[in-house]
Amino acid sequence: MWGIIRENPKAVIFAILVHVVFVGVLIFSFSSSTPTIAVNPEVNIVKATVIDEGKIKKERKRKEAIKRKKEQERKAAEKKKQQAKKKAEAKRLALKNKKEAEAKKREAELERKKKEETQKRKAAELKKKQEEAERKAHEEQLKRQLAEDERQRKQQAQRAAQQNEVDRYRVLIKQAISNKWRIPVSARQGQECILKLRLIPSGEVISVEVIKSSGDSVFDRSVESAVYKASPLPLPRAESNLFNDFREINMPFRLESRN
């Protein structure tokens, strides 16, 4: 604080001056209003001390006037009170009406909501029913699909089993003929002769046809001979109904390696 004063002496002085003027104005205004307050008690004191007849009459009249005035005032107040009461009653009625209207409104609202809910519930129920029906239909379809799949699977399994059986007998026939094929000494690696065999259900080879000759009669004869020697060929049981697969057989003979 001191530092500020020292640094700005003009401002400080100015501030002090402003304060002094302000305080002065305040003091002046107080001293000029004081005399009016002091005059009135002196007047009252003078009146209280004056008593006379005229004055009493006057006083009575004045009192009666005051009384009337008061009565009037009372009546006015009464009236006013009545009016206020009426007003309040009207207000109360209005309020009551308003409340009743509101209640009605709420009730209607409630009713409406109730209706809506019922409708909603009904719609939901309908929807649920429809969904149920759909679900059932779907399930039904799924069942059918599964049954169909199962049927196909069975069919495939049966076919696979048949194929297995065919393959098994292919191997058996291959072995039976390999065991009987005496490879000619002159046979060369890669030499090939293709035969077509015709079988009867007993496995007997009833015909052998050279459909592609090796060009070497010794080789061709050796393979034909192998087939005849291996006849009857092993075939699946008659019940398997696979004979048609074996009725005709293409049989390439190819020498893969020569030691």
Asked if 219 interacts with another protein (CB under 8 A), we say: yes
Q: CA distances (Å), 249 to each of 135, 183, 205, in order?
A: 54, 21, 10
Closest approach, Cβ 237 to another protein, in A, equals 17
Stretch that binds another protein, among 9-17, 32-40, 47-55, 221-229 (CB under 8 A): 221-229
Q: Which residue has the tokens 């004055």?
A: 55
| Of 72 and 155, CB closest to another protein | 155
Check residue 119 for interaction with another protein (CB under 8 A).
no
If binding is defined by CB under 8 A, does position 252 make contact with another protein?
Answer: yes
Q: Based on the number of CB atoms within 10 Å of its own CB, is 159 exposed (0-12), middle (13-18) or buried (19 or more)?
A: exposed
Q: What 3-state DSSP class applies to 211? A: strand
Residue 118 binding another protein, by CB under 8 A: no
In contact, 228 and 157? CB cutoff 8 Å: no
Q: Cβ distance 181 to 253 under 8 Å?
A: yes
201/241 Cα distance (integer angstroms): 10
CA gap 123, 202 in Å, rounded: 74
For the bound state, the minimum distance from the C-beta of residue 108 to another protein, rounded and expressed in Å, comes to 57
Cβ atoms within 10 Å of 210's Cβ, excluding its own? 14
Quick check: 167 and 216 in contact, CB under 8 A?
Answer: no
- Given 134, 218, 232, 238, the residue binding another protein (CB under 8 A): 218
With beta carbons less than 8 A apart as the criterion, state whether 196 and 249 touch: yes
Nearest approach in angstroms of CB 234 to another protein is 12
Distance in Å, CB of 214 to another protein, minimum:
11
| Token reading at 27 | 């003091």
Site for another protein in 177-216 (CB under 8 A): 177-187, 196, 216
Q: Does 251 bind another protein (CB under 8 A)?
A: yes
Specify the residue, 59 or 183, whose C-beta has the smaller distance to another protein.
Answer: 183
Per CB under 8 A, contacts with another protein among 131-170 are 152, 156, 159, 166, 170
Min dist CB 196 to another protein, Å, is: 8
Residue 229 binding another protein, by CB under 8 A: yes
d(CA 87, CA 232): 129
Q: What is the binding site for another protein (CB under 8 A)?
A: 152, 156, 159, 166, 170, 173-174, 177-187, 196, 216-219, 221-226, 228-229, 244-246, 248-256
